[in-house]
Chains A and B, each alone.
Chain A
Amino acid sequence: DGGITQSPKYLFRKEGQNVTLSCEQNLNHDAMYWYRQDPGQGLRLIYYSQIVNDFQKGDIAEGYSVSREKKESFPLTVTSAQKNPTAFYLCASSKGGGRANEKLFFGSGTQLSVL
């Protein structure tokens, strides 16, 4: 089945610890995105990548880092600098290439909580 796989589904972080959320897609999409969702809220963009080896900050990039070494993978690291990391994290992908009328495909999310 083609799609986006996020892992783990649940993740716990201790104070001062960095944690990495995995996102893999086999849709052959160029663009990938990370969104954060707080309870009862909409999605806020953390980082996005339109092509391998390139990525841009979104609206709330502070305390997060990403890499895009492979087309299929876009891992997100939540660093110790992110003081309020508890949230639902969603990864998405799209065909990219500057297409304006394209839709996003989402993974099933990772719930991150602080111990």
Chain B
Amino acid sequence: SQQGEEDPQALSIQEGENATMNCSYKTSINNLQWYRQNSGRGLVHLILIRSNEREKHSGRLRVTLDTSKKSSSLLITASRAADTASYFCARRSGNTPLVFGKGTRLSVIA
């Protein structure tokens, strides 16, 4: 199976700024999910957006999905040093297991 592409691979911002990460994919999907991974740890689920949804919010997170362009974006507003982590998109197609992208490494500088 093909992994999605995340963009950028790495992102460094100042505390208080917004961080935007993008994810593109090639096949049709049931849903797209975003996960966070702190260094040397497991992944933690952040948010799921279904294929018939265009935007979803959870706290400081905003996810958009454009199925015509096969792309999604994750926006973290008012970033904090504690947001420093890697962020992965993962997509589900049919009944197959989630396919993960390569991730974006976010560094938030205090």
Most buried by A among B31, B33, B45, B90: B45
Known: A101-B30, A101-B48. A59 touches B43 (CB 8 A): no
- Bitwise interface map of A from 32 to 55 toward B, beta carbon under 8 Å scored 1, else 0: 010100001111110010000000
Chain B residues contacting A108 (CB-CB under 8 Å) are: 41-42
Question: B74 to chain A: closest CB distance in Å?
Answer: 15
Look across to chain A and name the residue whose beta carbon is closest to the beta carbon of B10: A40
Number of B residues near A (Cβ < 8 Å) is 27
**Please, how many angstroms separate the alpha-carbon atoms of A107 and B48 in the complex?**
19
Q: Is the pair A42, B30 in contact by a Cβ cutoff of 8 Å?
A: no
B87 to chain A, nearest CB (A): 11
Interface size on A, residues (CB 8 A): 27
- C-alpha gap A48/B94 in the complex (Å): 15
Whether a CB of chain A sits under 8 angstroms from the CB of B59 is no
CA distance A94 to B74 in the complex (A): 23
Chain A residues contacting B43 (CB-CB under 8 Å) are: 43, 90, 92, 104, 106
Name the A residues within 8 Å of B30 (CB-CB). Answer: 100-101
Does residue B95 face the partner (Cβ distance < 8 Å to A)?
A: yes
Assembled-state Cα–Cα distance A48/B92 (Å): 14
Whether the Cβ atoms of B88 and A42 lie closer than 8 Å is yes
> In the complex, given contacts A42-B3, A106-B42, what are 10 additional A-B residue pairs having Cβ atoms less than 8 angstroms apart?
A4-B42, A35-B100, A42-B88, A42-B102, A90-B42, A92-B42, A101-B50, A101-B92, A104-B90, A108-B42
Residues of A within 8 A of B (CB): 4, 6, 33, 35, 40-45, 48, 58-59, 88, 90, 92, 98, 100-101, 103-109, 111
